[in-house]
Amino acid sequence: MPERNASQSGPVEGFIDRIVTAAAEWATLIGASVVDWGYFFLMRRPRLLRTVAGVGRRWAPVFPLGRHKLLFRAEDVHEVLERNDDFLLGPINERKVRSGDFVISLDPGAQYAEEKALIREAFPLDRNDRVYGIATAAAERQLAGLPASGALNLVPLMERVTVQVVAEFWGLDPRQARSKVVRMPRGAGLDEGAETMRLWLRKLAALIASRDPAPFGVMEVGHACADEYVRYVKNACEAMAAADPAGAADTVLGRIVARRPRTEQAWRTAAGLIVTGTTVVTKAFTHAFEQLVGNADALKRATAAAKDRDRQALERLMMEALRFNTVFPMIARYCPRNATLASGTPREAEIPADSMVAISPAGAMFDPEAVENPDSFSDHRGLNFNPDWISGAAGYAIGNHYRPGRDREDAGRMWRGIYMHFGSGAHWCPADGMALAEISAMCGAVLRALPEVRIKAWLPELLYRPLRYDGPAVWRLKVRYG
């Protein structure tokens, strides 16, 4: 290690710098709390966010924020997501992912390719169907035995569905989970391990979906939970590997442990996969469900589809509903070197090295240049899934024309779709089909179990939100039924 400080400053300059830095640090602490709260306020109000994004798209499609840029147009958002070498995700996520390097904290390279190959091996081909089945059964169990009418907070119920998916599909038994950070809710018949896992996943979702450093203690809680969670996954993997990896159950965790001789890589990948694959599902469901219930016509069609157990119709409805309040309304990418964006267009912009680019899928999905009648709710828009990971299990053909040999422009046209909930480019979520299957299963079960479901909004969106948040994760969605 170096023995001396390499910075070039004298003692007087150092003293003045310290004074100024201290004052700036204080102002940053105060200012950041205001900015963070303002950011949360905007992100939790989809209508307001759409308006802001619309103004941005029209008048300042590349909005400068000091060195950083905000982008609202679909074309630019796609460009950023697809230029993996110039706009990196790794530096954004690497400090958040406490389990060590994993695909969302890596940029395309040798290790990234290896991690992705491991995930590909671990995913079964019928993964979407399996998740749908597990989630449907779990949701129906959660909603069974309710009175004919009343009020209900859907969030913990759906979080428990997610925990069930973690146990049955991912293969991580939550029963032994214990925490010194999260608090067990009071209630009869609740399993401590499952409840701990549920709260861990919520806290980890808050960490992953938040900026770094996350404000208001979200980061501290997230990191503390992540440490407990990673330790738990590590122990589970080691126990599985010690028992008989070859004979492990046909779950994702079992497949990873069986295929990897290095336990460290197994638990690192498993921990990352489970978090990214499950934690934002509840948020996606609540966001989509709130929008669905707010649209009488869509709700009617969804109720019919739920009764008919028409999974494809439900998926289309949920995907469209999610467009009106997407899970990641803003996504950040890091620009390590100077780059030109939207080259050759009137909005061409230079992005300097060491700057951030914040792209707005919420704005892009309402870009009239990319989406027909963007403001109307339509479940007839084409679904687009990660073309590199299509399993064919659900029968979708859209997007699987992609061939790596094609030139970038052609490939881009094939890849691109209307919906950007799961990203695009190299970091397009490989579990998009599973996530959609899971939220559709939840939605179907809720609509079947709760007649005349409604959400009461007492005041306009600007003043009141029926969705309550724990950091960036959803904490409460109270519905009335019957």
Partner 1 sequence: MARRRPKAATQRALTILKPLRDASERAALESILRGHGNAMQSGGNSALRDAFDAIEGLHYLSWFVIDGVESASNPGAFEPPVLVLEANFDGAEKAFLRRLAGNAATKALLDEIYSRCSGYPVPGSSAEFTAHCLALGNSRPEVFYVARPGQSAAQLKEEARLAAAIEAAVGSLGEPYGRRLEHLRRIWDRLGSAQRRLIPNAPMKPFWVRHSLREQPLKAVFALVALLAVGGLITLALIGLDALGAPLWECLVPPRRVADAALCAALVLAALAGAGLVIWALFHVIEAPKDIRLSARVRIWGRKFRAIFRATIRTLPAALALVGVVAFLSWQGALLLHWASYVVLGLLAIALLAGLLLVLVAMRELVDGVDGMAWDPAKLTRLSAREDRGVQNHFISVTPVKPGRLRQAVLRIVLFLVNLLARVLYDRRGLAGIPSIHFARWQLLDGGQRLLFVTNYDGGWGGYLGDFVATAAFGMNAIWGSSGGFPRTFYLFFDGVKDEQRFKCYARNSQQETLFWYQRYPELSLAAIRRNAEMREELARLSEHLAPGAAPAAESELDAFLRRFAVPGR
Binding site for partner 1 (CB under 8 A): 1-10, 13, 16, 19-20, 22-23, 25-26, 29-30, 33-34, 36-37, 40, 85, 88, 90-91, 94-95, 101, 106-112, 179-183, 185, 199, 202-203, 206, 215-218, 220-221, 224, 334-337, 353-354, 470-471, 475
Of 134 and 207, CB closest to partner 1: 207
Tell me the closest approach of the beta carbon of residue 316 to partner 1, in angstroms. 33
Contact in structure between 177 and 193 (CB atoms under 8 Å): yes
For the CB of residue 153, give the shortest distance to partner 1 in the complex, in Å: 12
Three-class SS state of 143: helix
Comparison of 103 and 359: residue with beta carbon closer to partner 1: 103
Supply the minimum distance, in Å, between the C-beta of residue 168 and partner 1: 24
Closest to partner 1 by CB, 322 vs 351, is 351
Rg over alpha carbons for the chain, rounded to the nearest Å, is 23
| Minimum separation from the CB atom of position 166 to partner 1 (A) | 18
First to last CA, the chain: 68
- Cα diameter, the chain: 76
Question: 382 to each of 23, 307, 379, 443, 444, how far by Cα in Å?
Answer: 53, 23, 8, 20, 21
> Residue written as tokens 């308006």?
51
- Taking the least distance from each CB to partner 1, the nearer of 92 and 167 is 92
Minimum CB distance to partner 1, residue 371 (Å): 33
Strands 339-341 and 68-71: unpaired
Nearer Cβ to partner 1 (41/55)? 41
By beta-carbon proximity to partner 1, the closer residue of 30 and 148 is 30
Query: Could you give the C-alpha distances from 425 to 108, 328, 351, in angstroms and in order?
Result: 11, 16, 19
CA distance 139 to 157: 7
Task: Give the shortest CB-247-to-partner 1 separation in angstroms.
Answer: 32
Shortest distance in whole angstroms from residue 469 CB to partner 1 = 8
Contact in structure between 292 and 482 (CB atoms under 8 Å): no
Between 334 and 377, name the residue whose CB sits nearer to partner 1: 334
CB of 475 to partner 1, least distance (A): 5
3-class secondary structure, 337: coil
When the beta carbons of 321 and 339 are compared against partner 1, the nearer one is 339
Closer of 448 and 468 to partner 1 (Cβ): 468
Cβ neighbours, 10 Å, residue 413: 11
Paired strand residues for 331 = 359
- Cα–Cα distance measured from residue 14 to residue 9, given in angstroms and rounded to the nearest whole number: 6
Please name every residue paired with 468 in a beta bridge, in sequence order, or none if there are none. Answer: 476
Ramachandran quadrant class, 179 (left: phi over 0; alpha: psi -120 to 50; beta: rest): beta
Report the amino acid identity of residue 290: E
106 or 305: CB nearest partner 1: 106
E strand or H helix at 341, and its extent? strand 339-341
Task: List phi, psi (to 5°) of 186.
Answer: -80, 145
H or E element that contains 151: strand 150-153
